[in-house]
Amino acid sequence: MIEYRNLKIAILGGGSVGAQVANLLIQHGDELAARAGAGLEVIGVAVRDLDAKRDTDIPQHLLTTDAPALILGADLVVELIGGIEPARTYILQALHSGADVITANKAVLANHGPELFEAAEQVGAQLYYEAAVGGAIPIIRPLRDSLAGDRVTRILGIVNGTTNFILDRMDTEGDSLEAALAEATRLGYAEADPTADVEGFDAAQKAAILASLAFHTTVPLEAVHREGMTTVTHDQVLAARKAGYVVKLLAICERITDATGTEGVAARVHPALVPRDHPLAAVHGANNAVFVEAEAAGSLMFYGAGAGGIQTASAVLGDIVSAARRHVAGGPGVAESTHANLPVLPMSSVTTRYQITLTVLDEPGVLAAIATLFSDRGVSVEGVSQSVRDGGDSARPTATLVIITHEASESALAATVEALATNSAVSAVVSVLRVEGL
């Protein structure tokens, strides 16, 4: 029998993820010890309510409401409370007491990442966060380690399961947004208050984390352009299907060069049209996927369960084993890399393609006038399709135009849409959607 050094593990939070982590650590302790080269002893699980019902049984003697005392005696602290406070304070306390910290908390990382990484570096401790983006999907370690020798150019991510479930139901079942959201809530995907999901806040936090890591640059949450998916209509999803696209809420992090020649990074979250033959179009239900483009590696896709207690616990346990190995082997671990320190460029610097749907008067010269509105603002049209007359009155019938542009800047596109909206030949700007993944 091998005698291992024992590492004391404090788990903060015994909810969906914390209860599963505690249970798996206790159940598979011997096997994990062999992998880690150290015994992994759960010394306690901090919660708010000692009598709350839990997804899996946690031995009652391990439960405590005194998180600060629990942290003091730990080698590894696993923060699974979520939110900003008290999670931030507990993480700092743990790092200052010399413990390595494992967290699944995207909110605290996106809002206070630099402070936490600096604290870790100062004391020679390590902060692990594989579960913070994409739940069970390994994406943090591949970006930090496997792709450390490459240059990532772009990340397209479906990083919120709730919104992917909703958009997928609208696309495949013809559900309304409200009906799909109700089903997501019934199945337990959506939060009781799903605002963070549907308004893109959750995805924006994950985008900030991914962009910072991929581009070796601190990307603050405030610099992530965010649009939610509550404006996506049933008609847009149907029209996208007919045109060979699917609507997805994407987190996009990219290396770009702006009009002045400055190289920087940009991060954004918004609904977008994705061609049906793109790998991201095949991500159904509440699954997540992160599509990474790198100069040497080319395109890579990481796919799987982006949420769920036991699925997320898998990523947390991987971090616990890594942290334990470091404790056994010693050494400084991997510091957060922000050496590139690229400028974080605003949304107005981003270029992409657009699909604009208009209702226009079906009269001679209208198409030419509209084409001029685009070309006058430097937006090049790639293709136009016109439906047969579909509205208006008999004296002035209207038709629907669907226009796809070549790459154009956000500012040029915004100016074009403004000009379209006030043009007398245009009855309505029905929809403006970005097109990604072409």
Residue 81's binding partner among ligand NDP, ligand HSE, none (Cβ under 5 to 8 angstroms by kind) is ligand NDP
Is residue 318 within the footprint of ligand NDP (CB under 6 A)?
A: no
Residue 294's binding partner among ligand NDP, ligand HSE, none (Cβ under 5 to 8 angstroms by kind) is none
Is residue 127 within the footprint of ligand NDP (CB under 6 A)?
A: no
Using CB under 6 A, pick the residue from 44, 308, 333, 437 that binds ligand NDP. 308
Q: At residue 140, what is the residue type?
A: I
| Backbone φ and ψ of 232, nearest 5° | -75, 125
Please report how close the Cβ of residue 361 comes to ligand HSE at its closest, in angstroms.
Answer: 43
Is residue 29 within the footprint of ligand NDP (CB under 6 A)?
A: no
Q: Considering only the stretches 235-243, 302-310, 331-339, 347-355, report the one whose residues sit in contact with ligand NDP under the rule CB under 6 A.
A: 302-310
Residue 358's binding partner among ligand HSE, ligand NDP, none (Cβ under 5 to 8 angstroms by kind) is none
Q: With contact defined as beta carbons under 8 Å apart, do 176 and 296 qualify?
A: no
Name which of 1 and 192 has its Cβ closer to ligand HSE.
192
Residue nearest to ligand NDP (CB): 15
Using CB under 6 A, pick the residue from 5, 30, 34, 48 that binds ligand NDP. 48
- Residues lying near ligand HSE in the complex (CB under 6 A) are found at 135, 160-162, 189, 191, 197, 202, 306-307
Please report how close the Cβ of residue 189 comes to ligand HSE at its closest, in angstroms.
Answer: 6
Using CB under 6 A, pick the residue from 11, 76, 101, 131 that binds ligand NDP. 131
Is residue 252 within the footprint of ligand NDP (CB under 6 A)?
A: no
Name which of 39 and 135 has its Cβ closer to ligand NDP.
135
Q: Considering only the stretches 104-112, 139-147, 271-279, 381-389, report the one whose residues sit in contact with ligand NDP under the rule CB under 6 A.
A: 104-112
Residue 49's binding partner among ligand NDP, ligand HSE, none (Cβ under 5 to 8 angstroms by kind) is ligand NDP
Residue 160's binding partner among ligand NDP, ligand HSE, none (Cβ under 5 to 8 angstroms by kind) is ligand HSE
Using CB under 6 A, pick the residue from 70, 252, 307, 347 that binds ligand NDP. 307
Question: What HEC string does the chain produce?
Answer: CCCCCEEEEEEECCCHHHHHHHHHHHHCHHHHHHHHCCEEEEEEEECCCCCCCCCCCCCHHHEECCHHHHHHCCCEEEECCCCCCCHHHHHHHHHHCCCEEEECCHHHHHHHHHHHHHHHHHHCCCEECHHHCCCCCCCHHHHHHHCCCCCEEEEEEECCHHHHHHHHHHHHCCCCHHHHHHHHHHCCCCCCCCHHHHCCHHHHHHHHHHHHHHCCCCCCHHHEEECCCCCCCHHHHHHHHHHCEEEEEEEEEEEEECCCCCEEEEEEEEEEEEECCCHHHHCCCCEEEEEEEECCCEEEEEEEECCCHHHHHHHHHHHHHHHHHHHHHCCCCCCCCCCCCCCECCHHHCEEEEEEEEEEECCCCHHHHHHHHHHHCCCCEEEEEECCCCEECCCCEEEEEEEEECCEEHHHHHHHHHHHHCCCCEEEEEEEEEECCC
Name which of 193 and 393 has its Cβ closer to ligand HSE.
193
Is residue 138 within the footprint of ligand NDP (CB under 6 A)?
A: no
Name which of 106 and 353 has its Cβ closer to ligand NDP.
106
Instruction: Single out the catalytic residue among 8, 53, 106, 206.
Output: 206
CA dist., res. 69 & res. 74, Å (int): 9
Tokens standing for 393? 């009155």
Q: Is 206 a catalytic residue?
A: yes
Interacting residues toward ligand NDP by CB under 6 A: 12-18, 46-49, 52, 67, 80-82, 86, 104-106, 131, 135, 307-309, 312
Residues designated as active site:
206
